[in-house]
Structure 1
């Protein structure tokens, strides 16, 4: 006689995650608010996490205003200059996956404090560097430090705000701080370059990030997100934490990303048919394939990108959508900043002010963008956001004349930013809601890694397309033809994203019904004596809630 199906917790029934008897590295239940954590402390810690997110984005956006000056003073080519931005993005994106696992395996407090302190010291050194290679190297290492802060922040936020609506609001505020860094980075960077010097762009980050690190040493409760011991068959299982870090996988991914960006950025100067371009591109494709294969060959709990995440509802589509928001913002910043400053002759601060519509929309919209899907559903909300972004990108191809700013570019910024914000916020919230809380660090790493990878590859492709078209255009760099081609490339990317959501994003209710039918067959085989020990109302589950591949 088969055992009856066990009624799981609310989150289990909602997301369709079956029980498994395999141990995991972080075997916790849904996070609960610690009794000793007051509301005032929670809000203040959220503010500190938001400042860290602000600075991570600031470290990229502020350079768009200062990059023309840095390029001139350090005698850099356009290909070398783009590496000042891409080096940070690449290492940030690749090591996010490792730091996500790090924040799940170890206490995320240590990852956050260590990452912020390391980033502050490296930013200080970058400001004193006057060698272009040294600056690029320091930027690459800074990406490692920045990568340690984001998954840890999200992990801590999930534990600080366990209630669903409260958590969505907190994640929305956290996301809005990134939008603020995106916009204010341009303004602050321009002010520092115009009225001080470009090293102050890096020193500004140091002045803010180091005090955050010191404060969090004392303010973050050490036991708030401490991983609980793995329990199997009523006994505590000792887990060797060091083996839970996928260093080999992350190294392969980092090499693949660096070679891909190198090949793309070298295409214009060396020729697309040359070995120096083709060899890195082919090797990078092989390394990507090796990375995904390797992730399936190691234990699930050790993988930087666990294969099972692709089996959560709509996760693959959400990952694809996460590739485009930073790409869209970054492409616009780069193409218009270089045109306005180098061709039209605007001062850095004047150029930065013309991007204000982006911040005016993103800052107030980000905390509330996630609530819109409550009324219209995730699929409709994300599709609407992508349609608005598509329209905006098409309008930006008409930015050749500065007289077009107010009638065309200004409304394009507003429409596109609102659309991108809708897609960004709802993608982030959906990813966390569709995965277990114990994977918050890993999921946060995957989401933010997708943002940075999309931006790094996208800006490299846009730069290469721009340079290639300008080389064949009569007006050269002074014309808008190369930048127009770059915007059409971004238009195509958004169009592909829109079609992917339209075709592959599955209805949530239908998907959950299918997942629950799998749950019923899986949970019916559990031993009743073990099931009786589950305190389902309190979500204290001694068994793993890791989804199986058949889910």
Structure 2
């Protein structure tokens, strides 16, 4: 049966759309989730971290499974898992149930997202049609992040927080039904034995989970407690085993030789720091706007909208600037704008005008975060052989997700500790929350400031138009 590639693109892009949407749509629902299920302030971050850690940790394994088992098959399996866990998450009655479902939901995303991108690349031949398809793919991904805050606000205010998860279910069912009709099956036929490197994925993700949990537990227990030391030491030990397994594997998930490329090394660090700043800012600001300023979920989503628009514009402008000036100056400028945006946001209090206290910082941060990430992704892909560009893209995307989860843990732990200290000192709850918000954003600004230093060591790449489109779409 002859299938239209453009029909396949609709199915694939919609699937990627709900994966991206799910990162931002949940943020505006966090205060309602906390109140309804009884999350502690430090535990609430797991609603975000569980998803991003598992998604990032298994992204490369999902791509490998898609290549070897069949891309459409893994794509449909990921959709089914994503839809089922969205249903159970929407019905969760305890914090533990929701966090576990968010983790498994991240695994579903890690299966379907790389499979969808791989199908896209084999469905469209290199040239004009593929460039158009990549542009649509990348554009919808950016739009998903922007619309997520609005959709989340509408669902929370008109129905309940549960619908930020339940809304995925009918979409997933429809896409599962449409995929066999419009999407052709494809796979890689390896010359030797099929190798998935499950051990590498489990060791890497387990190590990262232990480190994040150690950071979070340090807030109530102290950094010198036996539990925290055991978690951190165990996590680092698992990560060391992960590197050993990858170095010895015939087909590693993370080809360590890729890190000989200076562009890839600096890009992984830059995107990890970018993820840390973005997730922490989003998490803290969403709670600040609702619990301190008293905004509804929809009003919170609308407050974030200018940042999303600025990010979309920045993606277009940054792609043009890197072809003219190279990646390094654009990345440097983006990192500086990110720091300035976060510092401006620290000036916000409970009563000041949105237009003067929040809007400038949100716009600058929206521009800066994309102007940093776009050239970093381009430099990562341009610094390796063309046949390894997919692996490099997977590594930096995983770095972004994992860095975001670790950064969120560190920054929110610092913010929560400060809030509790202020309350213990007699401050009223509103002033304590404002103080925690400011402390958290200062910490996020430090992460962004490190990115300025990272950029100084990055190569200056002048990419081709094809390299720009491929990197932005990935």
Q: Same fold (TM over 0.5)?
A: yes
Contact 2:379 2:461 in 1 (8 A): no
Match of 1:488 in 2: 442
| 1:74 is the counterpart of 2:28 | no
> Closer, same or farther in 2 for the Cα pair 1:127/1:62, shift >3 Å?
same
| CA-CA distance at 1:259 after TM superposition | 0.8
Match of 2:242 in 1: 291
CA distance in 1, matches of 2:17, 2:161: 19
CA distance in 2, matches of 1:464, 1:259: 15
CA distance in 2, matches of 1:119, 1:252: 23
| 1:282 is the counterpart of 2:245 | no
Match of 1:518 in 2: none
CA distance in 2, matches of 1:217, 1:433: 35
Contact 2:341 2:361 in 1 (8 A): yes
Contact 1:88 1:143 in 2 (8 A): yes
CA distance in 2, matches of 1:208, 1:379: 40
Contact 1:96 1:151 in 2 (8 A): yes
Contact 1:100 1:152 in 2 (8 A): yes
CA distance in 1, matches of 2:20, 2:296: 23
Q: Which moved more, 1:499-508 or 1:89-98?
A: 499-508
Q: Which moved more, 1:360-369 or 1:93-102?
A: 360-369
CA distance in 2, matches of 1:134, 1:454: 24
Q: Which moved more, 1:358-367 or 1:112-121?
A: 358-367
Contact 1:391 1:416 in 2 (8 A): yes
Match of 1:176 in 2: 139
Match of 1:119 in 2: 82
Which of 262, 267, 274 is equivalent to 2:218? 267
Contact 2:325 2:462 in 1 (8 A): no
Matches of residues 495-510 of structure 1 in structure 2 within 5 Å? 495-505=449-459
Match of 1:549 in 2: none
Matches of residues 328-477 of structure 1 in structure 2 within 5 Å? 328-367=277-316, 369-436=318-385, 438-439=387-388, 441-473=390-422, 474=425, 475=427, 477=429
Match of 1:319 in 2: 268
> Closer, same or farther in 2 for the Cα pair 1:306/1:476, shift >3 Å?
farther
User: Given the two structures, how large is their TM-score scaled by the length of structure 1?
Assistant: 0.77
> Closer, same or farther in 2 for the Cα pair 1:340/1:356, shift >3 Å?
same
Contact 1:326 1:451 in 2 (8 A): yes
Contact 2:78 2:109 in 1 (8 A): yes
Match of 1:478 in 2: 430
Match of 2:158 in 1: 195
Match of 2:117 in 1: 154
Q: Which moved more, 1:328-337 or 1:258-267?
A: 328-337
Please tell me the root mean square deviation across aligned C-alpha atoms, in Å.
2.4
Contact 1:187 1:352 in 2 (8 A): yes
> Closer, same or farther in 2 for the Cα pair 1:494/1:173, shift >3 Å?
farther
| CA-CA distance at 1:365 after TM superposition | 4.1
CA distance in 1, matches of 2:333, 2:7: 34
Structure with the largest fraction of helix? 2
> Closer, same or farther in 2 for the Cα pair 1:312/1:216, shift >3 Å?
farther
Q: Which moved more, 1:105-114 or 1:147-156?
A: 105-114
Match of 1:139 in 2: 102
| CA-CA distance at 1:303 after TM superposition | 0.6
Contact 2:52 2:106 in 1 (8 A): yes
SS in 2 for 1:346: coil
Gaps of 5+ in 2: 464-474
Structure having the higher Rg: 1
Contact 2:90 2:166 in 1 (8 A): yes
SS in 2 for 1:79: coil
| CA-CA distance at 1:441 after TM superposition | 4.8
User: Given the two structures, how large is their TM-score scaled by the length of structure 2?
Assistant: 0.89
Match of 2:203 in 1: 252
SS in 1 for 2:457: helix
SS in 2 for 1:86: helix
Aligned length: 457
Q: Which moved more, 1:354-363 or 1:435-444?
A: 435-444
CA distance in 2, matches of 1:372, 1:508: 10
Q: Work out which structure has the larger RCO, using CA pairs closer than 8 Å and 6 or more positions apart in sequence.
A: 1
> Closer, same or farther in 2 for the Cα pair 1:316/1:360, shift >3 Å?
same
CA offsets 1:342-362 (integer angstroms, 9 cap, x no match)? 122221111221111012222
